[in-house]
Every structure is written in structure tokens, then in C-alpha cells.
Amino acid sequence: MNPIKIFKAGNDAENNAAESIWYENWLLLKKNRSAMFGLYIIIFFVFLAVFAPVVAPFDPYLQNIDLRKMTYFSWPYILGTDDFGRDILSRIIYGSRISLVIGFFAVSISLVFGSLIGLISGFYGGWFDRISMRVIDIMLAFPYILLTIVIVALLGPTLLNAMIAIGIARLPQYTRIMRASVLAEKEAEYVEAERSLGVGNMELMFMSILPNCLAPIIVQATLGVGSAIIESAALSFLGLGAQPPTPEWGLMIASAREFVSNAWWIVTFPGIAIVLVVLGFNLLGDGIRDVLDPRLKD
């Protein structure tokens, strides 16, 4: 083995150490009851999403004119039916597929691109840093809800575009967090040590500095999935996301708006699904933050 490699992340001893840190963190997280409760909620919805065809009692698109606006607990339509006679429970179960996928991918967009820009900006500085920070400042000058709505209105109202818009509008937060931690980490002694051993910039950036900057980004991303789910539902609610007859939660609420006076359950149940799933991500995110960054506890 090359003697230089001994000092680098990637050999067995350090890998074990790194593993044990993550394992230790997991043990700490496991003790946090509310975080675990959040995780169980998420697992439950992931299960629903994956096994939707098996779990859902009916076809979410199946209309039945004779069974319109059936009230809740009217067997076999446990949560009732909507104005087209479609089973609400089945639509909520299928809706979990859409919401989880959108939440996950929207966050991935801002996570990957935001962190990358932040990493390069912080590490190299110079013109790239100046330009990207100016652009980020301008993006942050828009309230992000407005920015999301404008981007999606320009791209066209589809679910995919809603996801992209949420991803772009949330990107500056990740860039800022990443850049701040990289700037702090760059001055650390281990970076200097590796540099003096001739470790290249790319390797330094991605193998040494990046892993040490992940903690705040992970927290932000976990909480971000919850907000992305709410935002995509809001866009669909405004007609700027999913289009009928997609069983999307926000759209289900929007299309039942006119029936608030005689069929409240059509509006209420999809909303409860949103609250539960988002609560799950928020509980888990708070728990992860307490573990990774004990300073922020309380």
C-alpha cells in the first residue's frame, strides 16, 4: 500500500471509525422516541406507496355514478367516495406514491445541485463563488413560495414541473449551508495535513471535506421532504401541479372545495394524510438534528 494512503480516509481503520460514528448516531436516534415515531409513520406510508395495488381496496380511477359522495364508514368505502363515486381511501393510498416521489426527488434536486454549488464556492472561492453567491442572493430576495409558483407557471402546470420548481426554489438554502460548513472545514488541520501530503483538490473536496459537512445538510433534507410534500400539494391545489384525474392529495382537496358544505370528508381525509406524512418527516428531522448537532437541541 502506498504510505501516503495511510493518512487518508478510505483505509480500513478509518472506515471502521466512520462506520462506528454513524452506528453510534443511529443508536442515539433510536433512543429518541418521537424521532422513531416519525420514522414509523414514514415507513408506513412507504409501505402503502409500494404495495398500493395490493393494499388499496378499489381502483383509484374507477368512477361509479350511483355511489357519488357516499359518506365515511359506508362499507366497503371506509372513507366514503368523492363526487365521481371514486373510493377516497384507495385514492389516498395511491396518492402516497405521488407525494413521496415528488418530495424525495424535489429534495434530491436541491440537495445535489445546491450542495455541489456550495461545495465548489466554498472550496475554490474566486469568481465562481462571487457569481453564485450573487445569484443565490437574488433568488433569496423572492419569497420562495412565490418563486416556486412563478417557475412552475412558466414551465407549465405538470407534476414534473412542480417538482423541478420546488427543487430549484429551495436550492439556495442548501448552497448556503454547504458553503458555510466548507469554509469552516477548509481551515481545519487535517485538510492542511492532507494537502501537504499531496492530496489533490478533487479528492480533498469530495473525500475529506464533503463527508464532514454532511450533518447539517442531512437535517435540512429530512425536514425538506416534508415541506416539499406540502408545497407540491399546494401547487396542485392551485391547479399548477397534478391534473385531474390523478389521485394527488392537494388536487383531491381542490376538486372537493365546492362540496365543503355537504361532503366535508372529501376535503378532510386527504389533508389528514398530508399532515401525517409531513409530521413524520418533521419528527424524524428534529430527532436527527438533536443527534447530529446537539448544540441546537431545544
Partner 1 sequence: MYRFILKRLGLLIPTLFGVITLVFFMLALSPGEPARVILGERANKEAVEKMNAELGLDKPMHIQYVIYLKKVVQLDFGKSIKTGQNVIDEIKARFPATIELAIFSMILASVLGIFVGVISATKRYSFWDYASMFGALFGVSMPVFWLGLVLIIIFSVNLNLLPTGGRMDIRYYFTPITNFYILDGIIHIFKTGDPKVLGSALTHLILPAVTLATIPLAIIARITRSSMLEVLKQDYIKTARATGMSERKVVFKYALRNALLPVITVIGLQFGMLLAGAILTETIFAWPGIGKWLYHAIESRDFPAVQGGIIVISTCFVIINLFVDLLYSVINPKIRTE
Q: Under the rule (CB under 8 A), what is the footprint of partner 1?
A: 134-135, 137-138, 141-143, 145-146, 149-151, 153-154, 226, 230, 233-234, 237-240, 250, 253, 257, 260-261, 264, 267-268, 270-271, 274-275, 278-279, 282-283, 286, 298
CB of 280 to partner 1, least distance (A): 9
**Lookup: cell for 134:** 450573487
CB of 12 to partner 1, least distance (A): 41
Going 83 to 86 to 88 to 91, the CA torsion angle's sign is: negative
**Lookup: cell for 17:** 471509525
78 or 238: CB nearest partner 1: 238
87 or 290: CB nearest partner 1: 290
198 or 294: CB nearest partner 1: 294
Instruction: List, in sequence order, the alpha helices (H) in 187-298.
Output: 189-196, 201-203, 210-212, 214-237, 249-255, 264-292
58 or 237: CB nearest partner 1: 237
Residues 107, 167: contact at Cβ < 8 Å? yes
CB of 249 to partner 1, least distance (A): 8
CB of 226 to partner 1, least distance (A): 7
Residue corresponding to grid cell 463563488? 129
Instruction: List, in sequence order, the alpha helices (H) in the chain.
Output: 12-31, 33-50, 52-55, 88-124, 126-140, 144-155, 159-186, 189-196, 201-203, 210-212, 214-237, 249-255, 264-292
Nearest to 219 by CA among 105, 111, 93, 61: 111
46 or 238: CB nearest partner 1: 238
CB of 194 to partner 1, least distance (A): 29
Nearest to 280 by CA among 13, 44, 27: 44
6 or 138: CB nearest partner 1: 138
CB of 140 to partner 1, least distance (A): 9
